[in-house]
Copies of this chain bind each other. A is one copy, B any other.
Amino acid sequence: MEKIKSNSYILFYFNKKMKWLTKILDGNELHTHVGVINHHDVIGKIYGSRITTNKNKYVYLLKPTIYDFIMKIQHGTQIVYPKDLGYILSRTGLESGHKVIEIGTGSGALTMFLASVVKPNGHVYTFDINQQFIDIAKKNVSRTDLDKYITFKKINLKNYTKSQLIKNADLITIDLGDPWTVITQARKMLKDSGSIVSICPTINQVEKFSLSLIENEFTDIECAENIIRTIDAREGKTRHSFYGIGHTTYLVYARKAHFT
């Protein structure tokens, strides 16, 4: 039975909307709408147990998963939701050991997710033109033990002529406003018959990127969106939730082919 130690991360879970991921530091307090929690009281408890706040509410002490770390990341840039992360993984057939290139680091949510799967023998190379995003992403990643499986690079891939591009990627993900501008570069880095996925928030991007994929000799092109509907299960009163996640993004998938 693993006990909660100082300096480890914990997810304080009250309910779906009230949960807090934080690092346990003896002496600290967490102030919430359902009461105050002293970090000191948490140390030595077993994961999964619950404590009572000073407002007499139960809060569960959960060991955070990658899901929790990803959901916590909400810095300046648009995040990629777990539903979309999951589909990217299952549709591309990503496996532990794969080499992945991520174009557009963003908040590092996808970076982190990809690394958690490809480790320990695979690797994620992530590129962004914006050092600020890279710094945020690095900080986000630092909360986990995934650093060593990720290489951050500040480059503008559109103008990148270096001969030593990374080669033979199993998967390339793109999260840019204009994904078609990096498609030739992406193609060079992708292994034969390898997978590419672009995160496209608008339908116009979906259309334009799909056409670009055909021109650039990709096949098995699939454009999709992934919708999660949650269900409120109560005895004799089960129904879909009144609120749910709306639109997040469309996804465009394809595989590298050779037309000649």
- Which residues in A have some Cβ–Cβ distance to B below 8 Å? 1-2, 13, 16, 46-50, 60-68, 82-83, 85-93, 95-97, 113, 116-121, 191-193, 195, 201-204, 206-207, 210-211, 219-244, 246-248, 250, 252, 255-259
Contacts and interface: CB of A to CB of B under 8 A. Distances in A.
B235 A207 contact: yes
A57 B202 CA distance: 29
Nearest to A250: B231
A190 B64 CA distance: 15
- Judged by DSSP, the binding face of A is mixed
B96 A96 contact: yes
A119 B96 CA distance: 6
A224 B219 contact: no
- What copy number does this chain have within its complex? 4
A230 B223 contact: yes
Contacts of A49: 192, 257-258
Given A65-B195, A226-B227, 12 more contacts: A16-B220, A48-B255, A48-B257, A61-B193, A67-B92, A87-B228, A89-B89, A96-B117, A207-B233, A211-B235, A224-B228, A225-B229
A13 to B, nearest CB: 6
Contact of A120 (B87, B91, B96, B235): B96
Contact of A247 (B239, B247, B248): B239
B235 A230 contact: no
Contacts of A191: 2, 47
28 contacts: A13-B219, A46-B192, A46-B258, A48-B256, A50-B259, A61-B193, A62-B193, A62-B219, A65-B93, A83-B87, A83-B90, A86-B86, A86-B89, A86-B90, A89-B90, A95-B119, A96-B116, A202-B239, A203-B239, A207-B234, A210-B233, A224-B228, A227-B227, A227-B228, A229-B247, A239-B247, A241-B247, A244-B246
